[in-house]
A and B are shown apart, each in its own frame.
Chain A
Amino acid sequence: DTAVSQTPKYLVTQMGNDKSIKCEQNLGHDTMYWYKQDSKKFLKIMFSYNNKELIINETVPNRFSPKSPDKAHLNLHINSLELGDSAVYFCASTTGTAFRENTEAFFGQGTRLTVV
């Protein structure tokens, strides 16, 4: 069974469209994330939810809207797609924080978004 699964794996769409990426984890983790990895392979955090509550919201255009219907799911909706949104988007999850605890992140396989 896949621990963190994202769909779709590939997404090609035209500028101006609206699209969604879904993520589900079956690890029982409390916290989920969206990361963006650009062409230079830099992995940058976008959002984090803990038990359906938004915890981290980096400087991301408001065209990006995360939604967490329950703690096992974190979806990402993108409005009015632009060329610069082309990247690989990774979903990840961790257990809740305990001081000095090893809370490794488990990543989904990524969604390669190409805006044309």
Chain B
Amino acid sequence: GQNIDQPTEMTATEGAIVQINCTYQTSGFNGLFWYQQHAGEAPTFLSYNVLDGLEEKGRFSSFLSRSKGYSYLLLKELQMKDSASYLCAVRDRNYGGATNKLIFGTGTLLAVQP
């Protein structure tokens, strides 16, 4: 089966750094994605990891450890507009070679305070 866990809510201060953790269990791991979703809007892609290590993209970085089934999203220099839900999603290759099955966690609602 598949299971993805994230904290439900987090609060951080503008200008600070916040780390959002994600742990997963899946038999056919083939990549991990982070998405951002503002209230009432569609999820938008932030980052992708398939090999162990850190991927950096501006103020956002994502880390993966496949042996531990663990990832985190790091947001630096927080801005008020970063207040959103952050969704961890794992791609499972056990559904055949013709498609991706993205399994989402329940998301972490981040509130950035002044």
Contact = CB atoms under 8 A, between A and B. Distances in A.
B99 A50 contact: yes
A43 interface: yes
A53 B102 CA distance: 18
Contacts of A99: 30, 93
B101 A56 contact: yes
Contact of A45 (B31, B44, B50, B101): B101
B106 A41 contact: yes
Contact of A102 (B41, B48, B93, B95): B48
Contact of B96 (A55, A103, A109): A55
A42 to B, nearest CB: 5
Interface of B: 30-31, 33, 37, 41-45, 48, 50-51, 85, 87, 91, 93, 95-104, 106-107, 109
22 contacts: A31-B98, A33-B102, A41-B107, A44-B104, A45-B101, A45-B103, A48-B99, A50-B98, A55-B95, A90-B43, A94-B100, A96-B99, A97-B98, A97-B99, A97-B100, A99-B93, A102-B48, A102-B50, A103-B91, A104-B33, A109-B41, A109-B42
